[in-house]
Amino acid sequence: MKLFGIVGYKNAGKTGLMERLVAEVTDRGISVSTLKHAHHSFDVDHPGKDSYRHRTAGAQQVLLASNTRWALMSELRSEKEPPLEDLLARLDPVDLVLIEGYKTGPHPKIEAHRAETGHPLLAPNDTMIRAVASDTKLDIDQPQFDLNNTKAIADFILAEVNLSDV
């Protein structure tokens, strides 16, 4: 599986870019999975539902299945957050995994940047950031793309991971 990340500060446009990239890349016949890092606690389950009741009763894992999807929830309890490599190993094989977050991960990345956020660029201090997608022209050494030019960004990523001929 090929890996490529989208990083940036909060409200930089990462999630919207990820969504558009998944659609663009899958439209080209390339299989894609995503992995998103959350810096906060989250819950995909709801109080009162059977799976929630199983989990809060102490189940280490709860697998919820239907005729349209399945989801496996694993409780860390007092364990540390698993490293990125361990999480990637749990994914089914695909052509490309797009990773949102994991700024310091060792995989190649594009930085999403919006001037209005006022955050500094990560790219000058991270050799794994191969390009920047921004809403403004920047004075940088890496390739730069308009944040909304999904086709050009997808072309770049696919060339970087040698999937442009798939």
CB atoms within 10 A of CB 69: 7
Q: Average pLDDT in the 77-100 region?
A: 92
Specify the pLDDT at position 78: 85
The residue that leads in pLDDT, 88 or 55, is 88
Listed in order, strand segments (DSSP E) in 39-128 are 61-65, 70-74, 96-100, 109-113
Rounded-to-integer distance, Cα 92 and Cα 107, Å: 19
Q: Are residues 110 and 156 in contact, defined by beta-carbon separation less than 8 angstroms? A: yes
**What are the CA-CA distances from residue 3 to residues 38, 98, 99, 114, 158 (Å)?**
18, 6, 7, 24, 10
Model confidence at 93, in pLDDT bands (50, 70, 90)?
Answer: very high
The residue that leads in pLDDT, 72 or 31, is 31
Give 53's Cβ-side CA count (13 Å radius): 3
Specify the pLDDT at position 164: 87
Rounded-to-integer distance, Cα 4 and Cα 97, Å: 6
- Note the pLDDT tens digit of each residue in 109-162: 999 999 999 999 999 999 999 999 999 999 999 999 999 999 999 999 999 999
Q: Are residues 114 and 13 in contact, defined by beta-carbon separation less than 8 angstroms? A: yes
pLDDT at 39 over 70: no
Sorted by sequence, the CB contacts under 8 Å of residue 105 that are 6+ apart come out as: 5, 84, 99, 128
Specify the pLDDT at position 166: 67
User: Residue 154 phi/psi, 5° resolution?
Assistant: -60, -45
Q: Average pLDDT in the 79-83 region?
A: 89
Q: What predicted TM-score, i.e. pTM, was given to this entire model?
A: 0.89
Average pLDDT in the chain? 91
Specify the pLDDT at position 41: 61
Domains of the chain in sequence order = 2-44+81-160 (3.40.50.300)
Specify the pLDDT at position 10: 93
pLDDT at 92 over 90: yes
